[in-house]
Amino acid sequence: MKFRKALATAATCAAWIGLSVATANAAVVIGSTRVIYGSNESEVTLKLSNEGPAPALVQSWVDDGDVRGAPSDIAVPFTITPPISRIDPTKAQTLRIVYTGEPLPQNRESVFWLNVLEVPPKPGTNEADMNRIQLAFRSRIKLFFRPEGLKGSAAEAPAQLAWRLTRLDGKLAIEAHNPTPFHVSLTEIRVQSGGRSATFDTGGMVGPGQTQAFTLEGEVPTLPGASVHYTSLSDYGGAVANKAPLDVGRTAP
């Protein structure tokens, strides 16, 4: 019980420290950048590998989007086995992810987040007196629950986005509408018009049936022939380049 409480505390601390640190320094490597869970599957698996020089203690859980939620307080329709494991150097652990059957929408994808928290080993006797900071590293990837029989395909969804220019807080922005039942993850957006360009490069996602606005860096004229160039991510985490015409006739003031 004390062990689980310690891990839960470490998970909360990791959320406040920030996720970008985790991906840069963690010894445990996740075998994929996203998990696709088809509704007709009894389970899916995910491989964790320890590429560091010391054993790693790992806790894994799924959340519904609240990065600061404690694992013990989160109610999601998935279980992970094993939830806690030790991975020795150069070894691997396979996680089993099981959908527990609670109702989820059947006309569109649902998105959750899979967390992997790596707790550093206790310092050895030679290191005990050294001034040092130990951090629990946390990585977080998307878990998509995909009902069977959805119209179209996830691979085709990025090309179906509809784009228009707008303004947010006085700054130029681009609005993407997703008419498909799939989530579209974006890494970069570039608007080109009149020989000029404006960009968004911090990443985002447009959910099924949703409209999402992204603030652009730079200004472009609203001229006929304007286009948007954007990079989306496939089911395997691969970058896919896309290009589409831009609606400049309804630009918001």
138 with 111, same domain?
Answer: yes
- Cis? peptide before 82, omega within 30° of 0: yes
Q: What are the backbone angles phi and psi of residue 6, rounded to the nearest 5°? A: -65, -40
124 with 105, same domain?
Answer: yes
Query: In the sheet where 56-63 sits, what is the strand order?
Result: 34-38, 137-146, 110-119, 56-63, 84-87
Q: How far is CA 174 from CA 18, 79, 168, in A?
A: 28, 38, 9
pLDDT digits (tens, 9 = 90+) for 26-63: 799 999 999 999 999 999 999 999 999 999 999 999 99
The boundaries of the domain holding residue 128 are 2-146
Burial 201-222 (b: 16+ CB within 10 A, else e): eeeebbbbeeebbbebeeebeb
65 with 140, same domain?
Answer: yes
In DSSP notation, 11-31 reads HHHHHHH-HHHHHHH-SEEES
205 with 138, same domain?
Answer: no
222 with 126, same domain?
Answer: no
In this prediction, what percent of the chain has a pLDDT beyond 90?
Answer: 73
Residue 221 identity: P
The answer to whether 155 touches 183, Cβ cutoff 8 Å, is no
The last residue of a domain, from among 146, 166, 199:
146
Q: How many domains does the chain have?
A: 2
The answer to whether 140 touches 67, Cβ cutoff 8 Å, is yes
123 with 188, same domain?
Answer: no
189 with 213, same domain?
Answer: yes
* pLDDT confidence bin for 186, thresholds 50/70/90: very high
* pLDDT confidence bin for 13, thresholds 50/70/90: very low
For the chain, give the mean pLDDT.
87
Q: Give the residue among 138, 46, 51, 31 at the shortest CA–CA distance from 94.
A: 46
70 with 195, same domain?
Answer: no
Please indicate, yes or no, if residue 117 is contained in any of the structural domains: yes
CATH value at residue 195: 2.60.40.10
Q: Output the pTM of the full model.
A: 0.84
